[in-house]
Amino acid sequence: MTEIARYLQVQKDLRRSIIDGVFEVGDYLPSENELSSQYDTTRMTVRNALNNLEAEGLIDRKKGKGSLVKLKRKSIELLSIKGFTEIMKGKESKIDTVFLKEPEPRKWDDDFYWGLSEEELSAGCIHLSRIRMTENRPIMVEETFLSNIDLIEFCSTPFVNKSLFDTLIVNHDIEMIRVVQKFRAIRATQQLADSLDLRKGYPVLEIIRKLETTKPGFYVYSFSYCNTNDFTIEA
């Protein structure tokens, strides 16, 4: 395998340890001196790696104290559903996710919203549809399209933690690195009205997203429709 810079190796390794739960949120990493012994390198090389993890927001360093793990990973893909009564409480609703349509391979629609590369076009996509509910009330419908590139056994393997993104990380080593998202208020179609348990024509929040990943040329596309009568969506 290609040899990468020492500090990048340390950075990847530590990042992986945080993601895999070797170090949990709230834990302190080994000290810089300990890490430099462990990786048989200098404290400066270790600090270079830690600087990057800090810039990424995963750790918080404090002189005299240590390097505290603050995040497992930067979840830029997260959309938080927040009820109004919770804003003051800072508590998030319990969200249940159910498949309306299990992941399956298919061709791209001719009029797909986003421009697609030649590679994506020829590979086709995997489509899945989910509905999110809180207290048994549907609040979000989400259609997701993935380029069907190297996703071995994706459709036949159950999701990790019922999460598409956890599944991509754990099973395919693919992580989201950048997101473009667009918002609109639209009138509910009959189909959306049925899914979201509201009246046709009622305002629905549409979120159109393109997520760039660590795998070059591989994107995740999603279209979400939300009943925001009792909730806001935080992005």
Partner DNA sequence: AAATGCAACTTGTATATACAAGTTGTAGAA
Partner DNA sequence: TTCTACAACTTGTATATACAAGTTGCATTT
Confirm if 56 and 70 have CB atoms less than 8 A apart.
Answer: no
| Contact of residue 41 among a second copy, DNA, none (CB under 5-8 Å per partner type) | DNA
Does position 6 bind DNA by CB under 7 A? yes
Confirm if 222 and 209 have CB atoms less than 8 A apart.
Answer: yes
CB of 104 to a second copy, least distance (A): 27
Pair of tokens at residue 125: 């996509």
Helix boundaries (H) for the chain: 6-19, 32-38, 43-55, 84-89, 118-123, 164-172, 190-196
Does position 177 bind a second copy by CB under 8 A? no
| Contact of residue 64 among a second copy, DNA, none (CB under 5-8 Å per partner type) | DNA
Stretch that binds DNA, among 57-65, 81-89, 109-117, 170-178 (CB under 7 A): 57-65
Does position 47 bind DNA by CB under 7 A? yes
First to last CA, the chain: 38
| Contact of residue 208 among DNA, a second copy, none (CB under 5-8 Å per partner type) | a second copy
Alpha-carbon gap, residue 177 to 51, rounded angstroms: 18
CA of residue 231 relative to chain centroid, distance: 21
| Contact of residue 228 among a second copy, DNA, none (CB under 5-8 Å per partner type) | a second copy
Does position 94 bind DNA by CB under 7 A? no
The mark string for 211-230 relative to a second copy (x by CB under 8 A, - otherwise) is ---------------x-x--
Cα 235 to Cα 36, 68, 109, 135, 174: the distances in Å are: 38, 25, 27, 22, 21
For DNA, the binding residues (CB under 7 A) are 5-8, 29, 31-34, 41-45, 47-48, 50, 61-67
